[in-house]
Amino acid sequence: MLIKRTLENHLSSIISAFPSVMVTGSRQVGKSTLLENFVRDYNDKNKIKYGIVTLDDMNEAEKAQNDPMLFLEDHKPPVLIDEVQYAPNLFKYIKIHIDRHKGENGLFLLTGSQKFTLMKGVQESLAGRVAILDLYGLSQSEIENRESLVFLPNEEYLRTIREKCDSNTDVNANEIYKKIFKGSFPVLAKMNDSERNLYFSSYIKTYLNRDVRDILRVSNLNLFNNFLKSVAARTGCILNYADLSRDCGIDAKTASAWLDVLQSSGLVRLLYPYYNNFTKRLTKSPKIYFLDTGLCSYLVGWDSAITLQNGAMGGSILETFVFSEILKSYCHNAKEPIIHFYRDKDGREVDFLIENNGVLYPIEVKKTMMPNSDSAKNFSALEALGKPIADNIVLSLRSGFSHINNRTVSLPVWCI
Residues 6+ apart with CB under 8 A from 365: 315, 318, 319, 322, 351, 352, 394, 395, 396, 413
Distance CA 237, CA 230 (A): 12
Q: Spell out the per-residue pLDDT of the chain, length 416, in tens.
A: 578 999 999 999 999 999 999 999 998 999 999 999 999 999 988 877 999 999 999 999 999 999 999 999 999 999 999 999 889 899 999 999 999 999 999 999 999 876 656 666 676 778 889 999 999 999 999 998 888 899 999 999 998 888 777 666 556 788 999 999 999 999 998 888 889 999 999 999 988 887 787 666 777 888 999 999 999 999 999 999 999 999 998 998 999 989 988 998 889 999 999 987 534 445 588 999 999 999 999 999 999 999 999 999 999 999 999 999 999 999 999 999 999 999 988 889 999 999 999 999 999 999 998 888 888 899 999 988 889 999 999 999 988 888 899 899 999 998 88
Distance CA 30, CA 142 (A): 12
**Taken in order 175, 180, 184, 186, is the CA torsion positive or negative?**
negative
Note the pLDDT tens digit of each residue in 280-327. Answer: 445 588 999 999 999 999 999 999 999 999 999 999 999 999 999 999
Note the pLDDT tens digit of each residue in 344-358. Answer: 888 899 999 999 999
Domains of the chain: 8-134 (3.40.50.300), 140-415 (no CATH)
How many residues are present in the chain? 416
Distance CA 331, CA 172 (A): 27
Distance CA 307, CA 312 (A): 9
Phi first, then psi, for residue 201 (nearest 5°) are -60, -45
* Alpha carbon of residue 237 to chain centroid: 17
Selection from 231, 212, 229 nearest residue 221 by Cα = 212
- H helices of 144-188, in order, are 155-166, 173-182
